[in-house]
Amino acid sequence: MLGLMQDWPLLIHKIIDHAALYYREREVVTRAPEGPIERTNYGEIAVRARQVAAALDKRGIKLGDRVGTLAWNTARHLESWYGIAGIGAVYHTLNPRLFPDQIAWIANDAGDRALFFDVTFAELVAKLAPHLKTVEFYVALTDRAHLPKADIPNLVAYEDFIAGMPRDFAWKEFDEHTACGLCYTSGTTGNPKGALYSHRSNTLLAMIACSTDTLGLSGRDAVLPVVPMFHANAWGIAFAAPMTGAKLVMPGPRLDGASLCALFAEEKVTMTAAVPTVWLGALQYLEQSGKTLPYLKKVLIGGAACPRSMIEIFEKKYGVEVIHSWGMTEMSPLGTLGTLKAKFADLPYEKKLDYKMRQGHPPFGVEMRIVDAENRELPRDGKTMGKLKVRGPAVAKAYFKGEGAAAFDAEGWFDTGDVATLDSDGYMTITDRAKDVIKSGGEWISSIDIENLAVGHPAVAEAAVIGVRHPKWDERPLLIVVVKPGQTASKKDILDHLAGKIATWWMPDEVVFVDAIPHSATGKIQKTALRERFAEFRLPDAAG
Ligand code: ADP
């Protein structure tokens, strides 16, 4: 017997319609790439999204067509997402931090028929245009006065593109499983691979993001997603904010500490989200300027492991709750969130920190398990490390065009490529990416644990640990350190700081000091680049 409830498709344009009806005047504030602060609201965004849809429809963009975006977090980018998806086309976010030939490869692979871009990227787009085989026209996300002079064919200013288009254009009708967004992961092994989100998965993602023990976004929040819309759906905030009626503050291109902290204060931001490297900069700025975070209540930190010292500074010094989270492009991206469970409420702060350091527990809608090399499930004892696999309605079941099929097993589990432990309370701890794990004498050493401890040293700005060849142990850890400006630290200082906090056989064999550690286009430490740089490195006792 079937239930008798309505078949109400989960379509993302229903989110912006909901916002327009119930939170019409709730503000969306943008630091525009052209410079000024611009203000609009959900009512206007919904109307202009329909105009984008109408303009694309007029140009012959159809169900399933891909439309690329090369843009910062702005209101126009948001309108474009809803407009593109509202006719059943697919917004395809391109990461401007990739090399131009990578961007061209991805846009060609996706077959983007149009490209929306911010004026910041005009020169980049002019360089890319001759190589973009499928792009028929370009929309600069600006008005005619700021239209770039760069040599870009079939170029139109966004404001001209949507001018005169019907404000009540009807969304197209299609199934909730229809593709909605496309985002390529970095191509650390082989070519980049596309995660293809559906209307249903994005709507479920937004509902997950709104629930209290995840992002816990409320209509009374003012949220500033530092995490870019081109990095895994801005972690769901571009959907969750209009769904709940939260004020949205879009930082545009200026993601430095001073610019972000100014926006936090001016717009009374209560919640924000970004990768740890962004917070390294922001916390340094706060320390130097003596400024505070008077309105901020909560910060979501994920995309790479969040050091213990960072959680402590946010919580103790600035009174801002940290939610450490883990996820991936292939998971839309929410995987686990580190909110504290009720049973830990009365623990002393240091013990609470032990739990907050972990990557968190999965919300309803994410299943996870760890397995060994033969795909046998491993115990949830908080100690055993295994390959982390996931399932859920907002988890990829395949990559775009069937690439990378080996990551998906017959039971529908997706291999995250991460190595983790799971404990009996459901908390997951990432020990490494499988390819970054250090194998010493047949055992695994977690580079993340050592890095986290090293950045807890007051003079250390950033730290990375890689495995280097060792004749006896196969690999041993090498600790690479960037010291904070104006500070000093010796190898002994750093090793003394680690001593007693990790097993002796985990202690790095050597510490090297560098000016900077390279980061990927999504702000993660680029271990591959470090391994190349230190490929010939000889450890002090590895002469034999
Ligand atoms: P990319 O590989 O393009 O940077 P993702 O953002 O999808 O894209 O990367 C996901 C990976 O980032 C995860 O598989 C994991 O290795 C790492 N990661 C994400 N969040 C965390 C975290 N909180 N702690 C440790 N690693 C993390």
> Nearest residue CA, atom 2 of ligand 1?
186
Around Cβ 412, how many Cβ atoms within 10 Å?
12
Residue 374 annotated to the active site: no
- Is position 176 annotated as part of the catalytic site? no
Task: Produce one character per residue of 340-360: b if its CB has 16 or more CB atoms within 10 Å, e if not.
Answer: beeeeeeeeeeebbebbbbbb
pLDDT of residue 442: 84
pLDDT, tens digit (0-9, with 9 covering 90-100), for 171-207: 999 999 999 999 999 766 678 999 999 999 999 999 9
CATH code of the domain containing 494: 3.30.300.30
Query: Active site includes 439?
Result: yes
Is the pLDDT assigned to residue 542 strictly greater than 70?
Answer: no
- Assign residue 87 the CATH number of its domain: 3.40.50.12780
233 Ramachandran zone, left/alpha/beta (phi>0; psi -120 to 50): left
List, in sequence order, every beta strand (DSSP E) within 15-102: 27-31, 37-41, 66-70, 90-93
With residue 197 as reference, give the H or E element that holds it.
strand 194-198
pLDDT digits (tens, 9 = 90+) for 87-137: 999 999 999 999 999 999 999 999 999 999 999 999 999 999 999 999 999
Within a domain: 17:
yes
Other C-beta atoms closer than 10 Å to the C-beta of 477 total 25
CA distance 418 to 21: 42
CB within 8 A of 60, min separation 6: which ones? none
Residue 418 CA to ligand 1 center (angstroms) comes to: 8
The pLDDT score that the predictor gives to residue 188 is 61
In a domain? residue 320: no
Which residue among the candidates 58, 268, 341, 439 is catalytic per the annotation? 439
- Closest Cα to atom 9 of ligand 1: 328
Is 342 a domain residue? no
User: Residue 433 CA: which ligand 1 atom is closest?
Assistant: 16
Question: Is 310 close to ligand 1, i.e. is its CB under 6 Å away?
Answer: no
| Ligand 1 touching residue 194 (CB < 6 A) | no
What is the residue range of 527's domain? Answer: 438-533
> 148 CB less than 6 Å from ligand 1?
no
What CA–CA distance (Å, rounded) separates 515 from 424? 41
CA separation for the pair 465, 452 (Å, rounded):
10
Reported as a single tens digit per residue, the pLDDT across 200-243 is 999 999 999 999 999 999 999 999 999 999 999 999 999 999 99
Overall average pLDDT of the 409-419 stretch = 96
Which of 30, 185, 270, 431 does the annotation list as catalytic? 185
> Do residues 334 and 366 touch, judged by C-beta distance below 8 A?
yes
Rg of the chain, C-alpha, whole Å: 23
Ligand 1 pocket, residue 51 CB under 6 Å: no
Mutate to test the pocket of ligand 1, among 430, 446, 451, 519 (most ligand atoms within 8 A of CB): 430
Q: Checking phi first, is residue 235 left (phi over 0); if not, alpha (psi -120 to 50) or beta? A: left
What are the start-end ranges of the H helices in 369-490?
447-454
Atom of ligand 1 nearest to the CA of 325: 23
Which protein residue's CA is at the shortest distance from atom 10 of ligand 1? 328
Tell me which of 159, 176, 330, 451 is the catalytic residue.
330
Q: Examine residue 233 and state whether it is found in any structural domain, yes or no.
A: no
Q: Residues 327, 330, 333, 339: is their CA dihedral positive or negative?
A: negative
Q: Are 193 and 25 in contact (CB under 8 A)?
A: no
Q: Residue 543 pLDDT > 80, yes or no?
A: no
Residue nearest atom 12 in ligand 1 by C-alpha distance: 303
26 falls within a domain: yes
98, 99, 328: residue to mutate for ligand 1 pocket, most atoms within 8 A of CB: 328
In 3D, which of 140, 160, 162, 143 has the Cα closest to residue 152? 140
Question: How far does residue 273's CA lie from ligand 1's centre (Å)?
Answer: 14
Q: What is the DSSP letter of 360?
A: B
Does the Cβ of 433 fall within 6 Å of ligand 1?
yes
Higher pLDDT, residue 437 or 400: 400
Residue 328 CB less than 6 A away from ligand 1: yes
Ligand 1, atom 21: closest residue by C-alpha: 304
The strand pairing partners of 67, in sequence order, are 91, 114
Rounded Cα–Cα distance for residues 228 and 221 (Å): 19
CA distance 11 to 345: 38
Q: Which residues on neighbouring strands pair with residue 70, listed in sequence order? A: 117
Q: Is 444 part of the annotated catalytic residue set?
A: yes
Distance from C-alpha of 90 to C-alpha of 199, rounded to nearest angstrom: 10
Phi, psi of 466 (to 5 degrees): -125, 160
Q: Is the CB of 416 under 6 A from ligand 1?
A: yes
State both tokens at 166. Answer: 């019907």
Which residue, among 137, 140, 16, has the nearest Cα to 70 in the 3D structure?
140
Instruction: Tell which of 163, 198, 233 closes a domain.
Output: 198
* Two tokens, residue 269: 């931001």
* Alpha carbons 153 and 156: distance in angstroms, whole number: 9
The rounded Cα 120 to chain-centroid distance in angstroms is: 21
pLDDT digits (tens, 9 = 90+) for 283-304: 999 999 999 999 999 999 999 9
Q: Measured between alpha carbons, how far is 5 from 2 in angstroms, rounded to an integer?
A: 9
Q: How confident is the model at residue 523 (pLDDT cuts 50, 70, 90)?
A: confident
Identify the three-state secondary structure at position 310: helix
Q: Over the chain, what is the mean pLDDT?
A: 95
Ligand 1 centre to CA of 381 (Å) is 23
Last residue of a domain, one of 147, 176, 198: 198
Tally of domains in the chain: 2
CA–CA separation, 165 vs 162, rounded Å?
5
Structure tokens at 452: 């986290």
- Do 152 and 42 touch, CB atoms closer than 8 A? no
Q: What is the 3-state secondary structure (H, E, C) of 514-532?
A: CCCCCECCCCCECHHHHHH
Residues 6+ apart with CB under 8 A from 179: 64, 90, 196, 197, 198
3-state secondary structure of 448: helix
Among the candidates 170, 198, 226, a domain finishes at: 198
Q: Is residue 301 part of a domain?
A: no
Indicate the pLDDT class of residue 494, thresholds 50, 70 and 90. Answer: very high
d(CA 386, CA 378) in angstroms, rounded, equals: 7
54 in any annotated domain: yes
Residue 43 included in any domain: yes
